[in-house]
Chain A
Amino acid sequence: MAELPQPAEARPPGRVVLPPHRERARRPFADRARDWARHNLFPSRGGTLLTLISFALLVLLLCGVIWYVFFGADWSVVSSNRWLLFAGSFPRDEEWRLWVGVAVVFFMIGVAYGLWSRFNRRDLLFVAIASAFLIFLMAHGGAAAWSSIWFLVALALMFGGYVVAVRIPRDNSRLRVRANRIGIALIALALPIVLLILMVGGGAVSTDFDGFVLNVILAPVGIVGGLVVAIPLAIGRASSLRIISWTCTAYIELVRGAPLLGWLFVALFILDDVIGGSLVVRTMVVLAVFTGAYMAEYIRGGLQALHHGQDEAARAVGLSRRQTLQLIIMPQALRVSIPPLVGQAISIWKDTSLVSVILPMRELKGNADSAIAQTEFIADRIEAYVFVAVIFWIVAFTMSRISQRVERAQGVGER
C-alpha cells in the first residue's frame, strides 16, 4: 500500500516533504510495478482467476495467430496476385499514373500532418510498420521492385511535405493563415487532382478502376458527395417552410429505409434509364445520395444542439439569413457533428466492399474472388479474405485514430 508521508522530524535533515501523490511517484519502479499489478491484475481471488483465464485466452489467441500467419497459411495467393488485388485491370503501361497519384496523396497527408499536427513516436512506428508491410507485399518475387521504389519515393515526399509544413510557425501570422488556406484547398482538391492524373491524356477510363484502387476512389467520392448532398438536406429539414422540410424528411427516411445493397440494385437496374453513364458513375451517384441522407441526420443533430440564441444574436446584429447560416450556424453545427460524420466516413469506406456483391464491378474483395477462382489457389480462400480484411482494417483504423486526435486537439464534439 502507499506509504504515508512521514512527519518532518523523522526524515533526514534537508529533505523536502512532498505531498502524498508526489511521494508515491518517487517510489522505486519495482514497487510501483508491484502495486500496479496488485491493483489491476490480482485484486482478489476472483480477480486473479479472471486474470489467469484471460491470460490463457490471450496466449492461445497469440499462438494461434502466429502459427496461422507463419506456418498454417499459404500466402502465395496474395503474393502472386498482388497487382490483381491492388489495381486489377488498370492498364499496365499506365502504372506510373497510379504511383504518381499515390505520391500526391502521401504528400498531402504529410503536409496536413505538418500543418495541424505532429508525428509522435507512435505515428512513426505505425508508418514504419505499415510501409514495411506494404513494401514486403509489393517487392515479393522481385518483378515488382519498381513498385517499391515508387512507394519509397512517395514515402519520401510525405516526409518532405511534413518537414516543410511543420516549420511554419503556429501563430496568427499571414504566412500561417495562407498555409492553412493552401492546406485546406489541397485536401479539397485532392480527389479531382488524383482523378486527373489517372485519366487525363490517354490514361485509364472509368471501367479500368479495379481492386483496391476502386475502393480508394469510391470512398472519397461517397464522403465528399455525401457532404454536398447532406448540407442542403439538413438545412431543408430544419427549415420553417413546411413543404421543404417535409420533402427533405421524406427523402432522408426513404434513403435510410432501404439497405445500401438495395440502392446499388437501383444503380444497376433502374438508374441506367434515368441518368445513363457508366456503371462506375452511377455507383458514385448512389453512394453520394445514400451517404448524404445519413450525414444529413448527423448535421441536423448538430443544428439542434445549437442554442437558438446563436441564430437570434446573428439576426440582431443585422446579418441576413444566408449570412447567419454561412457564418454562424453551419460552422458550429458542423463542428459538433464531426465525430458522427467521421464514423459515417469510416462506414462508407467499409461499405465500398458491397460494390462487388451484385454489381459487375470488382473492388478489392471482388478481385480476391477472382484470385481464388484460379485453380491453383482454389483452397486458399481464407488467406485471400484475411488479407482483404486486414487491408480494409488498416485504413479504417487509421481513419478512426486520426479523427480521435483531431477531436482531442480541437475539443470537437464537446461544444
Chain B
Amino acid sequence: MATHAPQPPAGLPEPPEVPLVYQRRIRDLLIQALYVAVTALVIAYVVLQLGGREYGFGFLNQPASFDVGNQWLTNIDGTTNSRFTMYLVGVWSTIRVVVLAIALSTVFGILIGVARLSSNWLVSRLAMLFVETFRNAPLFVQIVLWYAVVLFGLPTIQNVINVGDFLFLSNRGIAIPWTVPDGGFWGGPDWMVGVWVAALFAAGGLAFWVRRRRQTAERETGKVQYPNRWALGLFAALALASFILLGMPVAIDRPIVEGTTYAEGMAIYPEFAALLLGLVVYTSAFVAEIVRGSIQALPRGQTEAASAIGLTAYQRLTTVILPQALRQIIPSVTNQYLNVSKNSSLASGVSYFDLFFVANIIQNKIGHAVEVFLLITVTYMLMSLVISLIMNYINRRVTLHSV
C-alpha cells in the first residue's frame, strides 16, 4: 500500500497524521478481533447450554433392537446387530433411492425439457402442464400422495393385477422379474456371473477404445467413421458371445404370489415406490426447466445453421444443441442432484428406512441428539461431496470436449 500512496509534492506542509483507529490495517484487525470475540461468546454460550448432556458415540455399538424393512440386501437382523450397522443399512437405503432417482429424473427431465421446446404445439403444452403441475406442489405431499395411491388405489394382493405373469401390481407393492445367477448349460458354478460381468467390463473398455480411434480418424480424414455405431455394435456382439460361451450364466427369475406376499423376482415395496416416484417426478420437472432454459439461452443461429447444413431434427439436437447447452445444464443440474440427496430424507414421511429415519429411531430410543445430528450431517455432506466431485469431473470432460 505504502508504495502506491501519493507522495506530497515538495514544499507543501506534511499531511496531518491519521489517527491509529482510522488506519486501514489497524481497523481491519480491530473489526476481526471484535468479530472473533462475539462469535466465541456465542459458541461458548451454546456449548455451556448443551453441557448438561452426556456425550460419546458408544451408544452406536450397542445392539439396535429394532428392525428395518426386509428389502433388497437389507434383511439384517436388528436384535443382534449394533445400532451403527443399522445406520449403515439406512445409508445404503438412501444411496439406493438417490442413485435411481438421479438417473431416472435426468432421463425424464431431458425428455420433457426438449418436449417443452418442441415445435409441436400440443407436445410442448403437455410438457408445460407436467412441469407446472409437479413443480409447484410440495415434494413431501407428493410422496405421501403417491404412497396413498399405491396403498389405497391399487387392489389388495388377493386381487393382484397380473400382467402376463411378468409384472404384479397390488398394495403390497410391485413385483418385477429379476436376474439370478444360474449354472447355465455347462452346469458351471454360480460365480460364472462374475466372470461374465468382468467380460462385460473388458468389452466396454474395448468398445470405448475403438470409439476413440474412430473419432480421431473422423477428425483427421473427414470421412464418416460411425464411432458410436461401431462401439455399440462391438459391445453388443462381445457381450452376447461371452454370454453364450460361458453357458448363459444368468437366468430371469419371474415373480410369483405366495399367499399374501411376493416370492421370487424382485418386489418393490410401496414405501420405496412412492419415494422414488415422488423424487423422480418432482426433480424431473426442475431438470426439464433447466434444460429448457439452457437451450433457449443458446443463440438462435445455432439451430438455424444446423438446419442450413441439412441436419435432421434429431442430429441437430444431439450434435449441435445439447452439447453446447450441457455447459449451462451441468452446474444447475448438480444443484438438483444435491437436492435429491437431501430430499431423500422425506422417506420418514412414508416409513422408508433411510438414514434419517433410522437415525431418528435411534434418537427416540436412546437420546444423544447432538451426536445423531452430527452423524447425519456428516453423512449427507459426504454424499454431497461425492456428487459434486463426480459432476465436476463430468463438467470438465464436457467443456474440454466441446470447446
Contact for A350 among B32, B123, B137, CB less than 8 A: B137
Contact A269 B363 (CB under 8 A): yes
List chain B residues, Cβ under 8 A from A50.
118, 120, 122-123
CA distance A265 to B148 in the complex (A): 25
Q: Which of B140, B145, B360 has the most CB of A within 10 A?
A: B140
A396 CB–B CB distance under 8 Å: yes
A358 CB–B CB distance under 8 Å: yes
Contact A241 B120 (CB under 8 A): no
B9 CB–A CB distance under 8 Å: no
B69 CB–A CB distance under 8 Å: no
Q: Which of A51, A54, A266 has the most CB of B within 10 A?
A: A54
Contact B120 A51 (CB under 8 A): yes
List chain A residues, Cβ under 8 A from B31.
241, 244
A133 smallest CB distance to B (angstroms): 16
* Also in contact, A385 and B145, with CB within 8 A (given A243-B32, A273-B49, A353-B140): yes
Contact for B120 among A54, A274, A350, CB less than 8 A: A54
CA distance A39 to B381 in the complex (A): 50
Contact B152 A243 (CB under 8 A): no
Interface residue SS majority, chain B: helix
A92 smallest CB distance to B (angstroms): 27
Q: Mark interface residues in A215-252 (1 if CB within 8 Å of B CB, else 0).
A: 00000000000000000000000000111100100000
Contact B49 A274 (CB under 8 A): yes
B393 CB–A CB distance under 8 Å: no
CA distance A386 to B138 in the complex (A): 11
B189 CB–A CB distance under 8 Å: no
Near A by CB (< 8 A), chain B positions 338-353 give 342-343, 345-346, 348-349
State which size class the interface on A falls in: 35 or more
Contact A379 B152 (CB under 8 A): yes
* Also in contact, A261 and B141, with CB within 8 A (given A50-B123, A54-B122, A54-B123): no
* Also in contact, A389 and B138, with CB within 8 A (given A261-B345, A262-B377): yes
CA distance A51 to B120 in the complex (A): 7
* Also in contact, A259 and B50, with CB within 8 A (given A353-B138, A358-B360, A385-B144): no
A187 CB–B CB distance under 8 Å: no
Give B contacts to A, CB under 8 Å: 28, 31-32, 35-36, 39, 45-46, 49-50, 52-53, 118-123, 126, 132-133, 136-142, 144-145, 148-149, 151-153, 342-343, 345-346, 348-349, 356, 360, 363, 369-370, 372-373, 376-377, 380-381, 384
Enumerate 9 A-B pairs (CB-CB under 8 Å) in ascending A order: A40-B119, A41-B120, A54-B122, A243-B36, A266-B373, A269-B373, A365-B141, A381-B152, A392-B138
Q: A273-B50, A386-B145 are in contact. List 12 more A-B contacts (CB 8 A).
A: A43-B120, A50-B118, A54-B122, A241-B31, A244-B35, A247-B39, A270-B369, A350-B137, A382-B152, A392-B136, A392-B137, A392-B141
